[in-house]
Every structure is written in C-alpha cells, then in structure tokens.
C-alpha cells in the first residue's frame, strides 16, 4: 500500500497542527529504529551521531554518504507502507513543511509513532536537533552540535558589522515564479549578511509572485540555488535596467546547503555573505562610474 503525497516547491506549509512539543523534564523513550521521511531529517539525525538508529530513509537522502546505502521508503510522492512494515521502525520522523497532515494521520492510524519536526527558521533547526537528541538518547551530543551551530551563526552576524543594506530577491523557481518571505530561514540568512528580502512582508512562507512585482521592487541582488542551473536568471535579461542586472549581481548558492534546513545552513550563510559583499562592491563601482 502506498500513500500518495503531492509535490511541493521547496517549502509548502503543512495543514497539520501536530508540531513536536517542548522538551520535557522527564526524558522520552529512546528510539532505536527510525525512519526519516525527508532528506534534511536524515541529515539532522546523523549530525548528532544517531545515524546508526536509522533503518530507512526517503529518496534524495544523500548526506552524509552513509545515508545512500539505507533502504528507501518512498519519495516526495509516495510512502510505501509495505516497506515500512518490513523495516519495523519504532519511530517515524516527518517534516512539517513537506508531509501533508492526512499522511501523518494515516501513519498514526495504522499504529506508527510519528514525530513531526518543524524546520522553517534557523532557531527551528536548533530545536529539531535537541528534540531528536532526546528521542535517540543523544541529548548531550545534540547540545554540543547546537552550541557550535549557534556560534557559527553568530559569526555570520558579527561579519555583517556596519555593511550597507542591499535589496535582495531570492528566486526559488522561475516557472512558476516563487520566492520566500521574511519568516523563511533563507531570508534570515540574507538579513544576517546585511541584506533585505524585497518580499519579506508577504504572508506565505514560499509565495508565488509576478514578474511585474520583481521589477517594481527593483532588487539590487538576485540569488538562486545551483540546482536551477546556469539559466536560472536568463529570463531577467529582458529587463536590463533592474538594478541587479545593471550591477551584474546575480549569484547561485550551493543547492543542498541552502535547500535543506540542517547545520549546513551555516555554509549557505557564508555563501550568501560572500555574494552580498561582492554585490556591494559592484554597486559602489557602478556609482563611481559614468553611465
């Protein structure tokens, strides 16, 4: 039996209200046979040293390399209950922004313990690591990883210093055209690096937008992930007077690092900061040069 899961674009908000609870004073049971239903959750479990507890993963779970050899239980479209039964997991970790509520309820209905993990923001990643640490008996390891993660993020914030603000558009996909709002971790990274997300005020986490809206907001920088390829910004060539085009400020960010809410967001943050540093230099050079 397979559960059908609709496709998503980077992040789509789950209708479930079953967020994981705050850490309790009494430790929860320790789970030793875990299935992760999203690549970022696989990575978070490995990050705290609990990879040996994973018995099954979703498709595209390719980091760290050990994850590639684990049994697959489906992909973004399907969850294979027959395979789950063979693996005999005692815990399923699901991604709040990627696993629809009815799938979570169905998995629970057939008897699985399901933990819903939220990773919308940078703080959510830290909370997720701690929660997974509690569930796997790796509380101390998780706390060490979180301390390092937070220190690395603080270093990005210190790097910002007194850098001048710069307007940034993050393109999730070009057809249809999606971006992120101010609550998304990508927007947080942009802010840490001294940028401002030109669509920060929108209500949806990953809203669809129009070409006209981008032109109107006239970003000075355009960012996208490397999985978009060299043609990620090709369609914007039709509007050479957009500031980002005028300055030559179009940059590709490392796809896995910026596309997955894990501790590797620190690496993504460094790439964002590097890009915005270059973007400011190009803006300043353009201001000094005659048109």
Per-residue tokens: 183: 């609550």
The pLDDT of residue 203 is: 93
Question: Buried (b) or exposed (e) across 181-204, using 16+ Cβ within 10 A?
Answer: bbebbbbbbbbbbbbbbbbbebeb
Model confidence over 194-244: pLDDT tens digits?
A: 999 999 999 999 999 999 999 999 999 999 999 887 789 999 999 999 999
The pLDDT of residue 78 is: 80
Same domain, residue pair 101 and 208: no
Q: Total structural domains in the chain? A: 2
Question: ∠ CA 50-61-12 to the nearest 5 degrees?
Answer: 105
7 domain residue, yes or no? yes
Same domain, residue pair 77 and 180: no
Same domain, residue pair 127 and 29: yes
27 domain residue, yes or no? yes
Same domain, residue pair 39 and 67: yes
Question: Buried (b) or exposed (e) across 103-113, using 16+ Cβ within 10 A?
Answer: bbebbeeeebe
Same domain, residue pair 176 and 266: yes
pTM score above 0.85: yes
Same domain, residue pair 46 and 177: no
Per-residue tokens: 258: 């910026």
230 domain residue, yes or no? yes
The pLDDT of residue 97 is: 77
Domain termination residue (choose one: 150, 184, 205) = 150
220 domain residue, yes or no? yes
CATH of the domain at 189: 3.40.50.1980
Same domain, residue pair 14 and 144: yes
Same domain, residue pair 192 and 275: yes
95 domain residue, yes or no? yes
29 domain residue, yes or no? yes
The pLDDT of residue 104 is: 87
Same domain, residue pair 103 and 223: no
Same domain, residue pair 140 and 21: yes
Domain termination residue (choose one: 150, 182, 209) = 150
Strands 166-171 and 221-225: parallel
How many Cβ atoms from other residues are within 10 Å of residue 72's Cβ?
14
Sign of the CA dihedral 94, 98, 100, 103?
negative
Domain range for residue 250?
Answer: 161-288
> What CA–CA distance (Å, rounded) separates 62 from 60?
5
Q: What are 93's strand-pairing partners?
A: 36, 115
156 domain residue, yes or no? no
Same domain, residue pair 167 and 124: no
155 domain residue, yes or no? no
The pLDDT of residue 163 is: 75
Residues with pLDDT less than 70, the chain: 1-28, 76-77, 161-162, 290-291
Same domain, residue pair 118 and 165: no
Domain termination residue (choose one: 98, 130, 150) = 150
């Amino acid at each position: 039996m397979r559960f059908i899961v609709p496709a998503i674009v980077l992040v789509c908000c789950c209708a479930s209200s079953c967020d994981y609870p705050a850490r309790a004073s009494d430790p929860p049971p320790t789970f030793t046979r875990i299935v992760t239903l999203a690549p970022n959750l696989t990575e978070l479990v490995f990050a705290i040293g609990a990879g040996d507890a994973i018995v099954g993963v979703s498709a595209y779970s390719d980091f760290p390399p050990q994850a590639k050899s684990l049994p697959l239980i489906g992909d973004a479209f399907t969850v294979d209950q027959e395979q789950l039964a063979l693996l005999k997991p005692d815990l399923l970790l699901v991604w709040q922004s990627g696993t629809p509520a009815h799938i979570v309820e169905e998995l629970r209905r057939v008897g699985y313990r399901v933990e819903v993990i939220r990773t919308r923001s940078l703080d959510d990643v830290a909370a997720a690591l701690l929660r997974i640490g509690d569930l796997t008996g790796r509380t101390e390891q998780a706390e060490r990883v979180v301390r390092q993660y937070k220190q690395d993020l603080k270093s990005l914030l210190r790097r910002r210093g007194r850098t001048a603000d710069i307007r940034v558009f993050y393109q999730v996909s070009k057809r249809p055209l999606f971006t992120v709002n101010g609550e998304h971790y990508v927007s947080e990274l942009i802010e840490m690096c001294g940028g401002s997300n030109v669509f920060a005020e929108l209500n949806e986490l990953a809203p669809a937008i129009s070409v006209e809206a981008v032109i109107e907001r006239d970003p000075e920088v355009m960012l996208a992930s490397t999985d978009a390829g060299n043609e990620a910004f090709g369609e914007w060539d039709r509007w050479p007077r957009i500031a980002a085009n005028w300055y030559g400020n179009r940059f590709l960010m490392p796809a896995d690092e910026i596309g997955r809410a894990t501790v590797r967001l620190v690496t993504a943050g460094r790439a964002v900061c590097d890009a915005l540093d270059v973007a400011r230099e190009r803006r300043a050079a353009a201001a000094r040069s005659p048109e």
